Amino acid sequence: MRWEKTASWNVGIDFSLFRNRLSGSIDWYHKLSSDLLTVTDLDPTTGWTSLTINNGEAVNTGVEFQLNGEILRPVNDGLGINASLSFSYNKNEVKKIEHLPASGYEALYSLHEGYPINSIFSYRYAGMVTGEGEEGSVPAYGWYDSEGNIQAVDIASNLFTVDDVVYCSGRDPKYVGSFTPEITYKGFTSSAMLSYYGGHYMRARAEDWSHEGTYRGYSESELGGIPSSYLNYWTTAYNGKLVPNGYPAQSIIGNYEYMDANVVRADYLKVRNIVLGYNFPRRWCEKVHANSIRLRVQMNNVATWKRNNLGVDPEANDPYSGATLDKTPRSYTMSLNVNF
């Protein structure tokens, strides 16, 4: 085992125009990481079939852009407008991985050459079908094999092969941007921060597919926690239906987490905060023997616009498992800063 290595190439330019009223920078980078710790297949005669060693490679390529503008300079403590804009693009790819998944199920969570590091691999969901369980015919999560045939067995079985696995997308945002405007006028200041993340996907609402009695399900004693999507569950006939019934998990064949039906776009735009401030006039400060007094009010986590139609906040969702996480609550703060 040894240190992982990264070779980086950067090309950038900084600029300033119109007497520093417009400034910014543009950077391009290419980073090749080698000797990454990865699972590597070995010759069985060594006594090991695989080991985690320094043998992987990945590449990151991207562009970063920053722009700052003094749109309106204040005159005699008048109106002033400033803004800052940043944008970045990143693409990462696994360049070398010497490990072949032993099964289709392992391929769902393995690294694959030519694909992003944090990729989403799934099985093609074919709807609810009839499968054969220990007690006879039971509902099953149907899936399409590589030849287009519908199967009704668990994806952990040998019938689910690497060829049946499909790539859905990467979990890491390709595009990240932020915009921060600021307005000043006679001691008042107002600013906001907007953030954008896009170009990626996530698994979402996977727990909606869980059933009463499971560790992630919704029991009858917790009816207040049942999501509205449960209204779409079938009640009698299930063949061909998209969403299963709330039967106990032991009555269903299959795995709901890895289906492609749970993969949705993860793009979102969020207003991080809005800040209002006021600097008290100098003459007011002198009356209390202070050098300066500033009042500041801030609202955090103001609003979020999501591209998915499920209403799922990507920041309150595990993009790999689809489990819902705690949302960041909206908060308010007020502060008074007095300098003597």
131 Cβ contact partners less than 8 Å away, ≥ 6 residues apart: 137, 138, 139, 140, 152, 153, 253, 254
Please give the residue that has the higher pLDDT: either 283 or 267: 267
Q: Please name the amino acid found at residue 26.
A: I
Q: For residue 286, what pLDDT is reported? A: 84
Reading phi first (left if > 0) and then psi (alpha if -120 to 50, else beta), residue 152 is in alpha
Beta bridge partners of residue 28, listed in sequence order = 11, 63
Q: For residue 135, what pLDDT is reported? A: 62
Residues, the chain, total? 340
Q: For residue 224, what pLDDT is reported? A: 45
Which tens digits make up the pLDDT trace of 4-28?
A: 899 999 999 999 999 889 999 999 9
Beta bridge partners of residue 36, listed in sequence order = 56
Q: Please name the amino acid found at residue 8.
A: S
- pLDDT(338) > 50: yes
Which tens digits make up the pLDDT trace of 211-263?
A: 443 434 444 444 445 555 556 655 555 555 555 555 555 566 777 788 898 89
Which tens digits make up the pLDDT trace of 270-311?
A: 999 999 999 998 888 888 888 888 999 999 999 999 998 888
Mean pLDDT of 19-41: 91
Give the C-alpha separation, 155 to 260, whole Å.
Answer: 13
The pTM (predicted TM-score) of the whole model is 0.82
Domain range annotation of the chain = 119-339
Give the C-alpha separation, 148 to 124, whole Å.
Answer: 9
Which tens digits make up the pLDDT trace of 59-74?
A: 999 999 999 999 998 8
Closest CA to 257 of 210, 310, 313, 300: 210
Q: Dump the DSSP string for 197-236.
A: EES-EEE--GGGG--TTSTTS--GGGGGG--GGGGG--SS
Give the C-alpha separation, 52 to 33, whole Å.
Answer: 16
Give kind and range of the element (H or E) at residue 282. Answer: helix 282-287
Mean pLDDT of 35-50: 79
What's the DSSP call for residue 310? T
Beta strand pairing status for 119-133 and 150-151? unpaired
Which tens digits make up the pLDDT trace of 131-190?
A: 776 666 777 888 999 999 999 888 999 999 999 999 999 999 999 999 999 999 998 999
